[in-house]
Amino acid sequence: MLPPDNDGSHPDMRSAAPFSDAERAAVYRAIETRRDVRDEFLPQPVSDETLRRLLAAAHCAPSVGLMQPSRFIVLRNPEQRKTIHDIFVRRNAEAAAMFEGERAERYRSLKLEGILKAPLNVCVVCDRGRDGEAVLGRTHQRDTDVYSTACAVQNFWLAARAEGIGVGWVSIFDPADLVEPLGLPEHVAPVAYLCVGYVDRLFTRPELEARRWAERAPLEDHVFEGRWGARRSD
């Protein structure tokens, strides 16, 4: 017989009361002050105990059908990270060539990774090896495993912010570039390559905004009512 459900009597259920003002403020502070760190890393090592807390937070992320597809590859070896950095340098040159004029010059001036400077690198990958199985919540949207892995990345990032640890997401790779260096089997897809380490300062707004590459749009421009493009006042 299935345990009682949806009536508040399940032994695993608890109160859903809101957080205290201080607790709520701490959550929003982590969200609002999280930054993509590229060049502010300190040499201070991240302890195994602290790393485990970050990984545990990531492992608690929402997971469609409780499929738990996220895996975490921790890279400490300098030679291995040098290999990854060489790949980045090649791909970054390709990316720079896609911009023209002043935009290209500005692109080349940006520091876009901390692969060698950060004490740790963590590659978050998605084990997609359940393609032949019916998974609750994934029956009609096959990419929910990747979405679930992205949630794990966000959890890791917010927990790191609370610990005073910076995280930088390096996305200037072709995912296939990481297969050989990380020994990834065919059913495992790289989702996020993260540079991880303590920082003593952060930009007060996104670095690309501070460096005038782009601007954060007003929230109102991204919220619709009932259908695409409709505003509440329409």
Asked whether residue 22 is domain-assigned, the answer is: no
Asked whether residue 163 is domain-assigned, the answer is: yes
Q: Which amino acid is at 14?
A: R
Phi, psi (rounded to 5 degrees) for 4: -60, 145
| Owning domain of residue 136 | 36-201
Confidence of residue 182 (pLDDT cuts 50, 70, 90): very high
Residue with tokens 């195994």: 48
Asked whether residue 52 is domain-assigned, the answer is: yes
Average pLDDT over residues 200-213: 88
Confidence of residue 1 (pLDDT cuts 50, 70, 90): very low
The pTM is what?
A: 0.91
Predicted confidence (pLDDT) at residue 148 exceeds the cutoff of 50: yes
Asked whether residue 60 is domain-assigned, the answer is: yes
Phi, psi (rounded to 5 degrees) for 43: -75, -10
Asked whether residue 159 is domain-assigned, the answer is: yes
Asked whether residue 216 is domain-assigned, the answer is: no
Task: Sheet with 120-127: list strands edge to edge.
Answer: 70-75, 120-127, 188-198, 165-170
Question: 94: domain CATH number?
Answer: 3.40.109.10
Predicted confidence (pLDDT) at residue 203 exceeds the cutoff of 60: yes
Predicted confidence (pLDDT) at residue 122 exceeds the cutoff of 60: yes
Q: What is the mean pLDDT of the chain?
A: 93
Within 13 Å and on the Cβ side, how many CA atoms surround 225? Answer: 6
Total domains, the chain: 1
Asked whether residue 27 is domain-assigned, the answer is: no
Model confidence over 34-86: pLDDT tens digits? 999 999 999 999 999 999 999 999 999 999 998 899 999 999 999 999 999 99
Asked whether residue 206 is domain-assigned, the answer is: no
